[in-house]
Chain A
């Protein structure tokens, strides 16, 4: 009932609005904010009941018990969060967000796959559309940051991390051009289905094609290593230039490999060329087969969407639900993603793992701290800790459960984000239709 009253208030405010619009981008934080009361899930595993968080100029200034601070209204805009839950903003890795508006049937809105197989230089950030209708929709489920990734085989391009409330891509950049994607080719025609490397399609199968593709990779990596040694190249090569960062540690190599042996080959390959930071993306139960190798080589994994089918007919039918717990228990740094960028279901993908071995705080970590560490942004975000960016969401209830996930507030670098979106706008618009025709 309360909802209905609230709704009619909102409806009257928006009554003149004819079509769905992206909400106005939030201005920079002016006044310090204090969230007081409620339960803080810091993302480190710590839970603070009846806590308080303060932030100013976009940074977190205090995290602790509410009793240890004072809600001074002159200093803070005080928001009472009694009974609510406070979380770090969720981080969504390995997406085509802002690159693909309508996947099927409207090709001109698809901007995530360039022609050719050796495109380390093409940059996702340059095509990122901040006005996509999608961002406000998933933001209102708690997702505040995303990795945007070019798709393709071999070297499809350079990825970036963006925050999801911006006027243009320059504003959106959170960690610009910090990832190079590697789609390791597939060798066998056989193989499981489901849950695999979703944003990297495997190259044509068969040993010949596999060998040809590996040779292409060996050549370009050999050349890139040599090129990176030249301080001022006479001929600047954009492709090799883009790969430089892999060898000095400023860029992360995100490897997608569909087969167990391919994972070993890809990681060994990257290490041979002196790539410093390697991440396995879209890992499923095939990767579980080589978990010891991953552990020994200290390779973090971004697991494929847990809400997937098992890869094989003989698989444990709950395998994708269990994998996050299995990997984390091995001591492997484990992040999670979800398969469709348009749906705000990332928190539920993480929530699904709780009935299959993770604690709620561990499940939360897979989409906050762990993803931040894997994407190389954990110095600034991923947890609610003093000094970090104020990327925070407040949910009425447990954020990981769809039944209770209801985001009331979201802050990106302290800016209070408008949580309206196209779905809510259209919902209100037609509520109005029925109200009028009653």
Chain B
């Protein structure tokens, strides 16, 4: 009672306050009304964890003023009886891109290399040394950190209506364009002036992994975006330390200012969650990640990041599998995702992650409730679902005091439903937004659904009205015969019924009365008559017979590691193994050892010899088989989500390690070819490409776990046709290629000196001086200059080979590897003198002009001249047959078989500075081993088992079992799809009707 008094005081207060919410002058005669509403007797879901039965709510001026049982409403309150109804806080969506702003037609997001060549505008931007003048914003157009959505937001009534219809009362809008997207605003889905609809501005700073309509060609690939994000952060720190008057940048200032807001990052796949989490941590940023709906596929890893997530309900549509030949085209990954996507939220919830649910990415917003209910059927608890639609999104943006619950002083966003929102038959009657009702089914109108006795023109019918509240359907029975083709329509409280019986057509019109429906009707001859339908039962009974049972939840398939065909149910573990009686290719001075055992303990080679004791080791009989060191592919582009950052010529800042995709099936396929490790390089579009990464093929492990421990750094360089192919970008000649690389190295030398000088200054001496800017493009080159990283250079013709070795020499450096180098045989002596190694193809030639003099005798010539040489694939297919490529060098040049095998094992290990651990069978080295069915250089050999770190990741027999399992899983999912796509009505229901 006391509270009520206090409330009425408040009421008066808020009336006065509300006068201030519109500061525009009154035009004409004002129409200000005190809109105080009292809701009675409802089941009130106060928040996701509290529900009050038979409770009342009082709202005034768009805010909630009281919630509780048996409230006393002040005089003048408009009272709404909600007996039997449920009131929820209207939902909150933390991620509704472009709501209320005008967007331009989107241009394709990715920049293809073709686009680089063909867009004249881009050409200008890239070629000109002084780009077109721009305002004082960040140098890259993909960074729009200073954008403020409130400067552009105007409520969009059509879209707002769509949101209201599916239960939303407040959404966070932002501009969905670019990498840094500026700030968002929490707005209501109500209609009114933007001034009132905006509930809170600058709710988050938004980012994405897509470049949008940026006018810059850079970044054109995923790892370029990571590099840019890092650079932006370093620039932002540097900017703060600049003395006044040197530089102004709106973008950086806004970025720095907005760092205090929640940082929301949109990703396009689950692997990006881990990548961004890592980058964020480098700068003390915890991103809230807007996911892609596939997070369950990397559940354990995402759980480790502990990121808060915003998750869409974009479940994939069923793939077309009706025709078995069409079904052949449906990828396993597509079927698995179809099968498992609805359990995404349930799995995230079980993993203890915090997430909000968003409507974004839905093909149609009207799918929202159906998909939400599907997620609940697939195991998401109703409480968690509600939390993800109310409290969590509100809390994420610091607005839990405004929206997401029904509490005093919060915005009056109320969702009135017929019952439990998670039930299929639940109807949203009204969605009140900022105290304004938006009605879908008029609660003031009586629910007509039910059973009736209809008397019309002396005849008596049994009438059933069922279906939806506002568009019920009719079923008429006379003398236990159903009358076909009857119609029923309802307009507010007026009803029309038509049907035919015998030869007569009835047209009835009437209204809802106290105990049913009644009115007048006309027959075919024009005569009028009265009719009356007396209610005999309620809708529930009528409904129960026709209610479609919710489709049974198919048992979803299992997660595999990695989430791919041929993924493991459980990642294999390390065991001690004894290979008995093999022909062992040691690659050491012992050469090949017949009938020899190799013992593997704790992932290392523990012994080589005859009749070794197994101890606890599992024995593998290798009689008649060959055991070799694992093959190392010195040049590969498998298992990465980006290959070329072609947006600039020098892109040393991009890192392959940022984009490793451990799910790439090529990893498994390489294992089947005896390949245990690969050097993954940036592509060859750039004179200086990016930092490469060396992985072991630990199939089933995470991206981070694939990386070889303590590996040396390699920086990819490229020369020749590929870097000069783009006519719109410098360089266009081999002359320019030399200069642009020389320039980059010179800049790095100067930059390195600047830092050295700066670091030598005492803090006091630094005042007033401009500190050097951390430049991620030059850092990797400094690493090369300082000997922490090595040059690996894509080279084809001899002139450029000589050039790059000389250029390196000018900077006191040595080129580590000349890659591909089809003309290496022409300057083998020079290569040897420079202490450089060569990583080449066996017999590739002639596919472009710079390999017109490539010869299959290249590798043999290089070896003869003493050059450390290896073979590589550069190709996911050939990568699984590198042993055969080595065999070719026995043919082309007549080298010995043991030297040939070294071309793909020990030599690449040496080139990659890993020969202390890999490349030969020697006690203490990593147990990366391949057991072959035949001579390993022969076309007739198959890898029977491939081991990495003592773990067998490929086994011919296991492979066959996995294939069977994949086939069974495909059949299971396809059968489920076919079951689900059957007509909705069940056969039993049909017979009942007849």
Contact = CB atoms under 8 A, between A and B. Distances in A.
Given A105-B721, A427-B825, A431-B861, A351 B939 contact: yes
B846 A430 contact: no
Interface in A97-134: 101-106, 133-134
A219 interface: no
A403 B890 CA distance: 6
Interface in B846-873: 846-849, 852-853, 855-857, 860-861, 864-865
Interface stretch (A170-178, A187-195, A328-336): A187-195
B672 A318 contact: yes
Contacts of B891: 402-406
A312 B844 contact: no
Contact of B332 (A3, A314, A344, A426): A314
Given A355-B941, A427-B825, A313 B665 contact: yes
Given A355-B942, A403-B939, A103 B848 contact: yes
A133 B967 CA distance: 47
Contacts of B845: 342-343, 423
Contact of A354 (B668, B864, B940): B940
Interface string A415-438: 000000011101100110110010
B329 interface: yes
Contact of A437 (B326, B721, B829, B855): B829
A314 B933 CA distance: 25
A340 interface: yes
Given A314-B966, A355-B940, A403-B938, A343 B843 contact: yes
Contact of B865 (A194, A352, A402, A434): A434
A313 B725 contact: no
Given A354-B939, A426-B825, A402 B331 contact: no
Nearest to B330: A190
Nearest to B890: A403
Nearest to B889: A402
A309 to B, nearest CB: 5
A379 B46 CA distance: 89
Contacts of A290: 325
Most chain B CB atoms below 10 A, which of A104, A290, A355, A403: A403
Contact of A104 (B565, B825, B847, B876): B847
A402 B884 contact: yes
A188 B329 contact: yes
B959 interface: yes
Given A314-B565, A403-B937, A423 B855 contact: yes
Contact of A317 (B326, B566, B828, B887): B566
B328 A260 contact: yes
B230 interface: no
Interface in B487-533: none
Given A351-B939, A434-B828, A437-B829, A289 B325 contact: yes
Given A188-B329, A313-B564, A423-B856, A348 B884 contact: yes
A355 B890 contact: no
Contacts of B564: 313
B725 A105 contact: yes
A104 B672 contact: no
A196 B826 CA distance: 37
A325 B962 CA distance: 22
Interface in A340-367: 340, 342-345, 348, 351-352, 354-356
Nearest to A422: B855
A191 B963 CA distance: 20
Interface string A78-103: 00000000000000000000000111
A261 B878 CA distance: 30
Contact of B846 (A3, A134, A313, A434): A134
Contacts of A151: none
A399 B566 CA distance: 35
Given A312-B332, A401-B938, A317 B826 contact: no
Nearest to B881: A307
Given A355-B934, A424-B857, A427-B861, A317 B333 contact: no
B857 A427 contact: yes
Given A102-B848, A133-B846, A422-B855, A309 B887 contact: no
Contacts of A133: 846, 852
Interface residues of A, number: 59
Contacts of A313: 331-333, 564-565, 665
Nearest to A310: B669
Contacts of A405: 891
B848 A400 contact: no
Contact of A348 (B323, B892, B939): B939
A434 B829 contact: yes
A309 B940 contact: no
Contacts of A433: 826, 829
Most chain A CB atoms below 10 A, which of B721, B845, B855, B865: B855
A372 to B, nearest CB: 23
A316 B941 contact: no
Contacts of A190: 329-330
Interface in B280-320: none
Interface in B932-950: 933-935, 937-942
A337 B843 CA distance: 18
A413 interface: no
A95 B855 CA distance: 21
Contacts of A103: 846-848
A426 B934 contact: no
Interface string B959-982: 100010011001000000000000
Most chain B CB atoms below 10 A, which of A101, A134, A427: A427
A308 interface: yes
B142 to A, nearest CB: 29
B877 interface: yes
Interface string B881-914: 1001001101111100100000000000000000
Given A102-B846, A423-B856, A402 B894 contact: no
A102 B847 contact: yes
A43 B625 CA distance: 30
A423 B877 contact: no
A102 B329 contact: no
Contact of B887 (A106, A316, A342, A401): A401
A316 B959 CA distance: 9
A147 interface: no
Contacts of B826: 430, 433
A39 interface: no
Contacts of B942: 355-356
Contacts of A426: 825, 853, 855, 857
A434 B827 CA distance: 9
A391 interface: no
29 contacts: A102-B848, A103-B848, A105-B721, A105-B725, A190-B330, A191-B329, A261-B325, A261-B326, A290-B325, A309-B877, A313-B564, A313-B565, A317-B665, A317-B672, A342-B847, A354-B939, A355-B942, A401-B939, A401-B940, A403-B887, A404-B891, A423-B855, A423-B856, A423-B892, A427-B893, A431-B861, A433-B829, A434-B861, A434-B865
Interface of B: 323, 325-326, 328-333, 564-566, 665, 668-669, 672, 721, 725, 825-826, 828-829, 843-849, 852-853, 855-857, 860-861, 864-865, 876-878, 881, 884, 887-888, 890-894, 897, 933-935, 937-942, 959, 963, 966-967, 970
Task: Give the top 7 A-B pairs by smallest Cβ distance, nearest first.
Answer: A314-B332, A351-B939, A427-B857, A423-B855, A342-B846, A260-B325, A104-B848
Interface of A: 3, 20, 101-106, 133-134, 188, 190-192, 194, 259-261, 286, 289-290, 307-310, 312-314, 316-318, 340, 342-345, 348, 351-352, 354-356, 400-406, 422-424, 426-427, 430-431, 433-434, 437
Given A317-B566, A343-B845, A433-B826, 16 more contacts: A103-B846, A133-B846, A190-B330, A260-B328, A309-B876, A313-B331, A343-B844, A354-B939, A355-B934, A402-B890, A403-B935, A426-B825, A427-B857, A430-B825, A430-B826, A434-B828
